Structure formats: C-alpha cells, structure tokens
Structure 1
Amino acid sequence: LTFHTRITMTATVEDLRADLEDLRKARQVAERQRTRVVLDTAIGQVTKQLEKATAPPPPPPSAPEEAAAASATASAPTVPEPAIVPVPRGASFIPISKFAWDSGEYNTPWVCVYITLEGVGAVKESVECSFSKDGFDLRVTGLGGKNYRLLKDNLEKDIVAGESKCIVKKDRITLKLRKVKGDYSYETWTNLTAKKGKTEKKAKGADPMGGIMDMMKDMYEDGDDSMRKIIEESMRKARSGEGSSPSVPDLGGGMADMMSGLGGGI
C-alpha cells in the first residue's frame, strides 16, 4: 500500500465543502474506534480550512504596531530546547516494561502515560522526569532499594517539553505529555512511539499534510470491510473522474485526490 498524491492548501471553497461532506458520510458508517478518531481529525482540519478560506481578511497593521512587533521579536530571549539528561555512570536501573497510555479524545491537549509502582509516593523526591521535544526519561531511585527507569526517545509526535508534567501519587506516576497545537487542532496520536526512525519521522514532518496521508493509510489497513469499500469506491470515482466538476481546475486539494493516492497499492 503506497501513497503518491499530496494534498495542497489551494483547494477551493467548493472543494473543501465536498471533502467535508465525504468525510462526514464516512464517519457515519465507521465502526472501529481508531477509524472514527482518524476521520474526526480529518473533519476538524477540513472544517478549519473552510473557516479560514471563508473568513474576511484581517485589516493591515498600522506602522506603530509593525514597529512594536518587530521590536518585541528582536528582544525576545532564546529559550534552549530541553534535552534528556544522561544517566550517571555506574547507575543500575530496572527497565519499566509495563505501563498504560491514553491519547485522549479528539482535539484534547494531553497524552497521558500511567506507570504503577507500589509505594512510589513515599520516595516522591527521588522521582524525576526529563522531557525533550520527542521523548522523555523517567527515573525512580531508591524505591525498595531498587532504581527504575522508563525511557522513550522516539515519540510518534513532538511534544511541548516545557509544559509536560510528572505527577506522583501513592502507587502511581502519571506523565502528562503536552501535544503540539497544529494550525487546526491538537495532533492525534495513534501510537506512543513512532513506527519509523527519527530520520524518517523528520522527513515526514516536512510535509504538513503527510500526517493525514499516513492516517488514511492506517484507516484502510486497519478498517473493517465497510470502511474499505468506501475508500475503494472513492478511489474508483477519482480514477474515472466522477464527482468532480469539469469547470473546476485540478488543484490537488479534493478528497478524491487524497483517496486516489491509495490506488496503486490495493
């Protein structure tokens, strides 16, 4: 299953409305939870694009406002990117292999990771977690004479390290990873860590619509028969030219274009 078509941001208002209608129809018949999350994300993004496309342009800033903005940008201090602190030499840690995580509902700001460690609240001062933009390193020292560690350095999406949190209770640690807010909504996570390596993930991030393409790929691979039929029917229409107006130029922004990217791999 391969993708070859990329969506551009030049879709007409009519294209966006047609895309939104197709997505909502697919959402009504979707049965799997993961498929619904993917479609909700796409619906949210297309809705925001439509609102942006139909909104009146803002008034141009006055000369004093432009000068004030330029001055504020020039004087703003540079905040260094947080990094995961290396473990001291000689320290021995037991890897934490059992934990749970929750990506949250659509457009929620947090991904939560739950770690159960009996009695961890008694050594709260010895619990520390460092966050970076694509990982975290949780370390617990001196719990029952043992040290524990949970390290993830290739998260599926980037996080806001400075706003992420580590909360320690009696028998549980909760890591709250702050999602990055995109142009239209908070990013949707389908896995805690990326299936691809860091280099591949960085290349994918260069394409602002690459995430939607990957989500649509996952939706086809993991969807039920009903969802696959919807995608295949959309592809068939895209190849035959059905559902597109001959008077509207091909701008690469329609739902049919996105689905036709699946055509070579099914």
Structure 2
Amino acid sequence: MSEARMKELRSDVDELNELLKLAKRKRAQDLISLEVRKLETELIKIKETIAKNAQAESTPAPSTAPAQSKRYQIKLNGYGWDQSDKFIKIFVTLKDVQSLPKDQVFCKLTEKSMELHVKDLDNKDYLLVINKLLDSINVEESYWKQKTDMVVIFLAKSHPNVKWSHMTELEKKTEDQRNNKMKPPTPDMDKSDPQESIMSLMKNMYETGDDDMKRMISKAWYEGQHKKKDTLDL
C-alpha cells in the first residue's frame, strides 16, 4: 500500500512541477508550490515510516539505545546583498555549509520571491524567505553556490541594467514613507504674508525634527524675539 501511494505521490509532484513551469501568475505559482511541498512532505513521512519498519524488523534497537535527536528549523533573517547589471547577489553566512551534499542546499524561486533551504547542518534545518522582490527575476537563469561558510544566490534580473534601490517592495515603501514624513512642506509662495510662510515652515520642522533640531529652532525664535524687542525699545 505504501509503495503504491509513493508512486502516486511522485507522479502528482512531477505533474505539478510541470504545471508550475507553465504558470504565469504569482498566485497560481504560490498555490502550486504549496501543494508540491505538501505532497513532498507526505512522501518523506511515508519513506521514514517504511525505513523505521524495515529497521525494526531486521535489527530491533536495544532498550538502552539513546533516542534520536529531533531536528529543528531555524528561520534566517540576516543576509547581505549586492548587484551587477545582470544579477542580484544574496550572501547568507552559515558555518560549514560547504560540507553538505548539494541536494541538501537548494532554492525555491518564483518571479517575485525566493526561499533558501539548508537541510541537516549540525542537526538543524535553515530557511531564508524573501517575498515581494522589488522587481521580477528570471527563474531559469538564476542559480546558487556553496562557498566556505556561505551560500551565494544569484538571482537573474528580468530587466538587466536596471538598478535595484532595495531588495523588496516593502523596504522601498517603508523608506519612502519615512522620507516623506521627514521632508518639510514647500512654503506657499502665493501667501500674502511671507512671515506666515516662514512660521509655518519652522513649526513643521519643530514638530518633525529631533531634539537637536527643536533646541536650535527654540533658540532662534528666542533670539529673534529679543532682537525684535530691542528694536521696538529704540
């Protein structure tokens, strides 16, 4: 029964992978990739069950044998990146990763996302996920390499020679919002009272500035008031 189920699952995975290559929309790609991962997980569980049953039948483990340690998945957040005209290069530091077989270090890519999987490195699994890339990538021309204590992923740009300002859409949106918040509004030059425009600008700078900016504006306002008073006394 298990063998028949495994054969059926392999056929389903192969067919879904073919559909993934044909899928154009990101949502469709994500749904197909999710289903593939589910089927692959079921395959692994069946293989493990068969292996355990075979081991139990041939050489039963002694009662004093230590329990097999559980493997944990660690989600990675830190990475470095650089770019050339053709590639976005992502650098992920992992000690001794070069010692793993190539099939234990792999990436799952779509046009706007990437996942790095590192399996069984010092009895731990590692995962790096980057979603909503700033621009689309060419999955077929992308690749990765294991180097000493590092994995380097080469994401082929769909639009060569276009420079990326950020890695993801979210990072760019966050910085744009921060810059817009800190940028003082342009004074309305059509106002009849120039003094009102200046006061409005200084008020905005005071409200959005840091402590040093607030102290500087307060000092300038204080000194200006005293100069105005001295002029009136004369």
TM (norm. structure 1) is 0.40
**Higher strand content, 1 or 2:** 2
Q: Which has the higher contact order (CA 8 A, sep 6+)?
A: 1
Higher helix share: 2
TM-score (norm 2): 0.45
* Greater Rg over alpha carbons, structure: 2
